[in-house]
Amino acid sequence: QVQLVESGGGLVQAGGSLRLSCAASGRTFSRDAMGWFRQAPGKEREFVAAISWSIGKTYYADYQDSVKGRFTISRDNAKNTVYLQMNSLKPEDTAVYYCAAGRRYTTTMIEEYDYWGQGTQVTVSS
């Protein structure tokens, strides 16, 4: 089992920044990939970014109006914590942000992530 706890969400004005944290505990060695997803009201959960614990490589969503270039995922292995630095926030970034643990950091598929945190709300005002 892997336990994940997100923190760092809140209310921010458009153009501002937030840093989300995801603290992992338990059998973290069993899952190499850590991903961030988000779900806006009335929308499906979508992939944001992922990182490999072991090699530190990252993978970002690349769809239209995605977060690439504005968000940065990183990890601190000593603290078993993954971060999502979010800059130049837009109102459309408003969502509940979830971290998740899986086996492959290159996948965007929700089904391939086995463990999920409870989510943290990010609200961007215009």
- Tens-place pLDDT, residues 34-57: 999 999 999 999 999 999 999 999
> In this structure, are residues 28 and 103 in contact, taking their beta carbons and an 8 Å threshold?
no
Q: Return the pLDDT at 66.
A: 72
* 117 vs 98: CA distance, rounded Å: 6
Of the chain, the end-to-end C-alpha distance in Å amounts to 40
Asked if pLDDT for residue 72 goes beyond 70, the answer is yes
Q: Which strand ranges, in their side-by-side order, compose the sheet holding 18-26?
A: 2-7, 18-26, 81-86, 71-76
* 92 SS3 class: helix
pLDDT digits (tens, 9 = 90+) for 1-32: 999 999 999 999 999 999 999 999 988 888 89
